[in-house]
Protein backbone atom coordinates (compact mmCIF):
# COMPACT_ATOMS: atom_id res chain seq x y z
CA UNK A 1 0.00 0.00 0.00
CA UNK A 2 1.35 3.42 -0.96
CA UNK A 3 1.40 6.04 1.80
CA UNK A 4 1.61 9.80 1.33
CA UNK A 5 3.01 11.99 4.09
CA UNK A 6 1.12 15.26 4.42
CA UNK A 7 2.69 17.64 6.95
CA UNK A 8 1.68 16.10 10.27
CA UNK A 9 0.11 12.78 9.25
CA UNK A 10 0.27 9.84 6.90
CA UNK A 11 -2.55 9.37 4.40
CA UNK A 12 -3.11 6.28 2.24
CA UNK A 13 -2.53 7.20 -1.39
CA UNK A 14 -5.92 5.79 -2.47
CA UNK A 15 -7.71 7.93 0.14
CA UNK A 16 -5.81 11.00 -1.09
CA UNK A 17 -6.79 10.33 -4.71
CA UNK A 18 -10.44 9.73 -3.79
CA UNK A 19 -10.61 12.98 -1.80
CA UNK A 20 -8.91 14.88 -4.61
CA UNK A 21 -11.27 13.44 -7.22
CA UNK A 22 -14.30 14.33 -5.09
CA UNK A 23 -13.10 17.92 -4.75
CA UNK A 24 -12.46 18.24 -8.48
CA UNK A 25 -15.92 16.89 -9.33
CA UNK A 26 -17.47 19.32 -6.84
CA UNK A 27 -15.64 22.26 -8.41
CA UNK A 28 -16.63 21.20 -11.91
CA UNK A 29 -20.30 20.93 -10.92
CA UNK A 30 -20.21 24.33 -9.22
CA UNK A 31 -18.64 25.93 -12.30
CA UNK A 32 -20.80 24.20 -14.92
CA UNK A 33 -23.52 26.87 -14.70
CA UNK A 34 -21.11 29.81 -15.00
CA UNK A 35 -21.34 31.91 -18.17
CA UNK A 36 -18.17 32.20 -20.24
CA UNK A 37 -17.90 35.94 -19.51
CA UNK A 38 -19.20 38.18 -16.71
CA UNK A 39 -19.61 41.94 -16.72
CA UNK A 40 -17.28 44.07 -14.66
CA UNK A 41 -20.12 44.86 -12.26
CA UNK A 42 -20.89 41.15 -11.76
CA UNK A 43 -17.16 40.34 -11.35
CA UNK A 44 -16.89 43.00 -8.63
CA UNK A 45 -20.00 41.58 -6.95
CA UNK A 46 -18.82 37.95 -7.04
CA UNK A 47 -15.08 38.31 -6.41
CA UNK A 48 -14.71 41.75 -4.81
CA UNK A 49 -13.74 44.96 -6.55
CA UNK A 50 -10.30 45.18 -4.93
CA UNK A 51 -9.50 41.58 -5.85
CA UNK A 52 -10.45 42.04 -9.51
CA UNK A 53 -8.56 45.33 -9.77
CA UNK A 54 -5.47 43.81 -8.09
CA UNK A 55 -5.52 40.78 -10.40
CA UNK A 56 -5.84 43.09 -13.41
CA UNK A 57 -3.00 45.33 -12.19
CA UNK A 58 -0.78 42.27 -11.65
CA UNK A 59 -1.59 41.00 -15.14
CA UNK A 60 -3.28 37.85 -13.83
CA UNK A 61 -6.61 38.56 -15.53
CA UNK A 62 -7.48 40.28 -18.80
CA UNK A 63 -10.47 42.55 -19.32
CA UNK A 64 -12.31 42.39 -22.63
CA UNK A 65 -13.91 45.60 -23.87
CA UNK A 66 -17.25 45.09 -25.58
CA UNK A 67 -19.46 47.89 -26.90
CA UNK A 68 -20.72 49.65 -23.79
CA UNK A 69 -19.19 47.30 -21.21
CA UNK A 70 -16.11 45.57 -19.85
CA UNK A 71 -16.13 41.81 -19.30
CA UNK A 72 -13.89 39.18 -17.71
CA UNK A 73 -13.56 35.46 -18.46
CA UNK A 74 -15.30 33.69 -15.57
CA UNK A 75 -12.94 30.70 -15.57
CA UNK A 76 -9.92 33.01 -15.09
CA UNK A 77 -11.57 34.67 -12.10
CA UNK A 78 -12.57 31.32 -10.57
CA UNK A 79 -8.99 30.06 -10.90
CA UNK A 80 -7.62 33.14 -9.16
CA UNK A 81 -10.29 32.85 -6.47
CA UNK A 82 -9.04 29.35 -5.65
CA UNK A 83 -5.33 30.23 -5.80
CA UNK A 84 -3.46 31.22 -2.65
CA UNK A 85 -2.63 34.88 -3.13
CA UNK A 86 0.45 36.83 -2.09
CA UNK A 87 -1.07 40.14 -1.04
CA UNK A 88 2.28 41.79 -0.33
CA UNK A 89 3.71 43.01 -3.59
CA UNK A 90 7.51 43.25 -3.75
CA UNK A 91 8.77 46.84 -3.87
CA UNK A 92 9.86 48.18 -7.23
CA UNK A 93 13.56 48.83 -7.82
CA UNK A 94 13.03 52.57 -7.33
CA UNK A 95 11.47 52.08 -3.89
CA UNK A 96 13.86 49.41 -2.61
CA UNK A 97 16.51 51.94 -1.59
CA UNK A 98 19.43 50.37 -3.42
CA UNK A 99 21.57 53.48 -3.30
CA UNK A 100 25.12 52.25 -3.82
CA UNK A 101 27.88 54.70 -3.03
Predicted confidence (pLDDT) at residue 53 exceeds the cutoff of 70 = yes
pLDDT at 99 over 80: no
Distance CA 54, CA 36 (A): 21
With respect to residue 64, please indicate whether it lies within any of the assigned structural domains. yes
> CA-to-CA distance for 13 and 2, rounded, in angstroms?
5
Segment 43-67 shows an average pLDDT of 94
In a domain, 11, yes or no: no
Q: Name residues whose C-beta falls within 8 Å of residue 14's C-beta, 6 or more positions apart in sequence.
A: 1, 2
Q: What is the mean pLDDT of residues 19-41?
A: 82
The reply to whether 9 falls in a domain is no
* Confidence grade of residue 28 (pLDDT, cut at 50, 70, 90): confident
Quote the domain boundaries for residue 48. 34-84
Of 32-41, 45-54, 88-97, least confident by mean pLDDT is 88-97
Question: What percent of the chain has pLDDT above 90?
Answer: 40
In a domain, 91, yes or no: no
The answer to the question of residue 51 being in a domain is yes
Angle at 71 between CA 68 and CA 72, to 5 degrees: 170
C-alpha angle 21-29-59 in degrees, rounded to nearest 5: 90
Q: Total structural domains in the chain?
A: 1
Contacts of 93 by beta carbon, 8 Å cutoff, 6+ apart: none
Please determine, for residue 77, whether its predicted confidence score (pLDDT) is greater than 90.
Answer: yes
Whether 68 is in a domain gets the answer yes
Helix locations, 1-101, DSSP H: 13-31, 40-47, 49-57, 74-82
At residue 1, the 3 state secondary structure works out as coil
Amino acid sequence: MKILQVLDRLVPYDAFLNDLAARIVGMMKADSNDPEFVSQRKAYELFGRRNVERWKRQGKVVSYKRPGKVEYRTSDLRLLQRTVQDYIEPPSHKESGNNKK
